[in-house]
Amino acid sequence: MRVEEFTYALPDSSIAQEALEPRHDSRLLDTRDMSDHRFLELPSLLRPGDLVVVNETRVRAARLTGTRRDTGGSVELLVLSGRPDGLWEALARPARRLRSGIVIEFEGLTATVVDGPAEGIVVVDLEAPDVESAIAAAGEVPLPPYFKGTLQDSSRYQTMFARRAGSAAAPTAGLHFTPEVVKGLDEAGVATATVDLHVGIDTFRPITSAEIEGHRMHSEWCAVPETTTTAIREARGSGCRVVAIGTTVVRALESFADEDGTVRAAQGQTELFLKPGDRFRVVDCLVTNFHVPGSTLVVLVAAFMGLRWREAYRVAMERGYRFLSFGDAMYAER
C-alpha cells in the first residue's frame, strides 16, 4: 500500500494554533452519523458498562539545548527514549556533523555521541548523577513542530492522567479530558482504566518510504497493568466494549493481546504498526484527534475504520474542525 493512499490536503489554517479552555469545549465528530458534539458530551455516545482506557504517560522535559565541547557550536537534542543497554536515543539538530565521540554539554548533564546520525537520530550516553532529574532540570517540554502558538503553562500539554514521565509527545486524545468529563463517564456507568505507553517520534513524523510496508516503527516502551486486564475481561464478559482514547492506547492493548482477544498484564517494548488488513483483537471504539497526513497514525485510523476515514476527515475539514495536537477529536467504531 502506497503512502499516498493515506495523505490528504491539510491547509495551515486547519492546524490548531491555540489550546482551548476549558479543554472539553473542543469539538467531537461522531463518525457513525457525522453529527457534531462537544467533547463534554462523550459519555452520551457510549453505553453503560463500556470501558474507557486512557494513556497515563507524562511528557518528559526532553528538549535540551547545549554546546559541543570541541567547537562550542549549539546543538539541540530531543530525548526520545532510554534503551535497555543504558544508552539513549535522541533527535538531534543539527545532526549531520555529529560523530561518535563528540561530547555535548548541557546544564548539569553531558551527552557523548555513541552512534548515528540515522534519520536525524543519534545514540548518546547521558551522564549525570541522576539522568532523569537532570533532564527535567535542564530541558523544556517539547511542543509539536507544527504548533506555532504559545502556551502560558506547559502543563496544558499534559493530560489530566499524566503520571510517569517518559514521552516525547503527549497522547493528544487525552488532552480533551477534564474532571467534568470523567464525572460524566462515571454517572453514565462507563468505567475507566489506564495503560502507559511512552510516545516516540512516530507520533509526529510522516512516513518517508513510498510504501507503508517499508516503514519501520521506532520502538516504544509500554505497560498494561493487571487492573486494566481485569477491567477488560469484566467489560467483555458483560457484552460491553473497550473504548481506546487515542492511537497509543490501541497500540498498547493490541501489543499484548492474544489471538482470542485476551490482554496480558505485561510491560516491554513494542514496534507494532497496525495497517489495513490487520485484525483488532481488543479495541472496539476509538476516540482520536485528526492526524498528520501520511503518518502512521492515519494508517492506524484507516486500518480501524476502513475507507470511512476519508469521509470523516473530509467532513471535519468542511465544517472547520481544528486538526492535530491541540485540535478537535472524532469518535469511531470498528
Averaged pLDDT for residues 138-158: 92
Selection from 258, 326, 250, 234 nearest residue 289 by Cα: 326
Q: 208 pLDDT exceeds 90? A: no
Average the pLDDT over 118-147 and give the result: 93
> Whole-angstrom Cα distance, residue 137 to residue 72?
22
Q: What is the pLDDT of residues 27-44, one digit of tens each?
A: 999 999 999 999 999 999
Sign of the Cα torsion 104, 110, 115, 119 reads: negative
**48-104 confidence digits (pLDDT tens):** 999 999 999 999 999 999 999 999 999 999 999 888 899 999 999 999 889 999 999
What per-residue confidence (pLDDT) applies to 201? 76
**All domains in the chain, ordered by first residue:** 3-59+150-333 (3.40.1780.10), 63-138 (2.40.10.240)
Write down the pLDDT at residue 203. 65
pLDDT at 176 over 70: yes
* CA distances to 12, 31, 212, 286, 306 from 35, in Å: 24, 7, 31, 16, 19
What one-character-per-residue DSSP string does 54-104 give? EE-EEE---EEEEEETTT--EEEEEEEEE-TTS-EEEEEES-TT--TT-EE
Closest Cα to residue 302, out of 320, 326, 286?
286
State mean pLDDT over 186-197: 98
Running DSSP on this structure, what letter comes out for residue 315? H
Per-residue DSSP letter, 202: G
Q: Grade residue 195 by pLDDT with cuts at 50, 70 and 90.
A: very high
What are the pLDDT digits (tens) for 156-167? 999 999 998 999
pLDDT tens digits, 197-207: 999 876 657 78
- Cis check for the bond before 48: say yes or no (omega within 30 of 0): no
The answer to whether residue 119 scores a pLDDT higher than 90 is: no
Cis peptide before 117 (omega within 30 of 0): yes
**Are residues 49 and 284 in contact, defined by beta-carbon separation less than 8 angstroms?**
no
Q: Which of 19, 81, 3 shows the shortest CA–CA distance to 289?
A: 19
**pTM assigned to the model:** 0.94
Give the C-alpha separation, 72 to 258, whole Å. Answer: 52
For the segment 269-304, what is each residue's pLDDT rounded down to a tens digit?
999 999 999 999 999 999 999 999 999 999 999 999
Residues 6+ apart with CB under 8 A from 154: 140, 141
HEC string for 180-196: HHHHHHHHCCCEEEEEE
